[in-house]
Amino acid sequence: MARPGGPVTIRQVALHAGVSRQTVSNVLNAPHRVDPATRRRVRASVEALGYRPNRNARNLAARRAGLIGYHVPITDTPSSFMDRFLHLLTAEVEDSGRHVLLFTGTTEIDAYADLVAQRAVDGFVLANTVEEDPRHRWLADHDVPFVSFGRTGNGEQPGPWVDLDGAAACHRLVDRLHDLGRSRIAFVGGRGRTVQNLERLRGWKAGCTAFDLPADRLVLAEDDTVEAGGAAMRDLLDSEVIPDAVIAVSDPLAVGVHREVRRQGLRPGTDVAVTGFDDSPLASVVDGGLTSVRQPVERFARTVVDLLESTNSTTTSAGRGSTTSANSDRGVLLPGGIISRGSAPIRLTEQDLNEWESR
């Protein structure tokens, strides 16, 4: 079954079409330089022989890798959200003619250094950013193209990034819950000092302040689990005036809150509204459904790849890497969309919907 004589090379195509190897190469990479008639003839030969250029050879000569590195964390608590992002990223990268290369390694920067030294990748997509993230600086200093999915807390974050506007999302949640007549809106945040956590907290506070609501019902959960959410809710129920709404920064936490609400004989969505984040599979397991903030993941993936493409301005030997190259360190902030379900029967405004649709 396998094609006899092994894979077809560019020389065979050249022979078949009666031209030189370089002409074939030109037809593939710079068609405008080739006479239309020859072009057609070569294309026919390519077709007839089923020629596909050898990636390694092409990349070696062109000093590319055709690959984008992505670090997958080996963790006990995988995030379905990040995995979805990876799926979509794979598709987007593929559309740009390259592929995603996966790697692990606990000392992530070493892994980066290694891949770069081996010329194994053209660039990286960074995920799971934390507040003090050394990766961005390192990559920028070494003139390695990259795009960050998520912001760091570093004042001047090097390199382009894409992120959810978590503050705006939380602000809006407060807004809509206020529309429903809720006035004691609590917040269950994450303990980790990630930008994400800080931003969402900020948005909640801002929202409360905007409506003259007290912003004192605040618990930071130990970790991102259903149990921790339950524990957080018990804390909140300890006070004399219990909240009539709870914004949790994740679906697991929200599910925990939800469960605790029921355990106390209260009705979620009626007595206490509960909202989560990410619209994960978990959101459909609670009775009545969980209201959650959905992130525009497809858009994230697309934007990341777009930004990566436009980072190709780095001339190899020219720039001394002194000023971290001039690739205008752009940042893109995208809005989240509220998915309203039983746990918090929010009525979305026209504007909410438009913003989400136009994302």
Partner DNA sequence: CCGCCGATTTTGAGCGGTCAAACGATCGGC
Partner DNA sequence: GCCGATCGTTTGACCGCTCAAAATCGGCGG
- When binding is defined by CB under 7 A, the residue of 44, 60, 120, 210 that contacts DNA is 60
Applying CB under 7 A, does 26 fall inside the site for DNA?
Answer: yes
- Residue 63 engages DNA in binding (rule: CB under 7 A): yes
90 is in the binding site of which of a second copy, DNA, none (Cβ under 5 to 8 A by kind)?
a second copy
65 vs 213 by CB, closer to a second copy = 65
- Cα–Cα distance between 196 and 205 in angstroms, integer? 14
**Are the CB atoms for 70 and 89 separated by under 8 Å?**
yes
How many residues lie near a second copy (CB under 8 A)? Answer: 61
Of 118 and 323, CB closest to DNA: 118
Of 13-21, 131-139, 152-160, 228-236, which part binds DNA (CB under 7 A)?
A: 13-21
d(CA 334, CA 294): 11
Stated as kind and residue range, the H or E segment containing 334 is strand 331-334
Cα dihedral 148, 154, 156, 158, rounded to 10, equals -30
Minimum distance from residue 119 beta carbon to a second copy (Å): 5
Q: Diameter of the chain by CA atoms?
A: 89
CA 37 – CA 83 distance, rounded (Å): 47
Choice between 202 and 299, CB closer to a second copy: 299
Its sign, for the CA torsion 227, 200, 89, 316, is negative
User: Shortest Cβ distance from residue 217 to DNA (Å)?
Assistant: 60
> Does 287 interact with a second copy (rule: CB under 8 A)?
yes
Contact 257, 242 (CB under 8 A): no
Q: Which does 214 bind (CB under 5 to 8 A by kind): a second copy, DNA, none?
A: none
Residue 241's Cβ-count burial label (10 Å; 0-12, 13-18, 19+) is: exposed
Site for a second copy in 244-273 (CB under 8 A): 252, 255, 259
3-state secondary structure of 6: coil
The DSSP secondary structure of 28-43, one letter per residue, reads HH-GGGS-HHHHHHHH
Q: Which stretch binds DNA (CB under 7 A): 21-29, 185-193, 267-275, 281-289?
A: 21-29
- Using CB under 8 A, list all residues that contact a second copy: 1-2, 6-7, 50, 52-57, 59-60, 65-67, 72-75, 77-78, 80, 83-84, 86-88, 90-91, 94, 99-105, 114, 117-120, 141-143, 225-227, 252, 255, 259, 281-282, 284-287, 316-317, 321
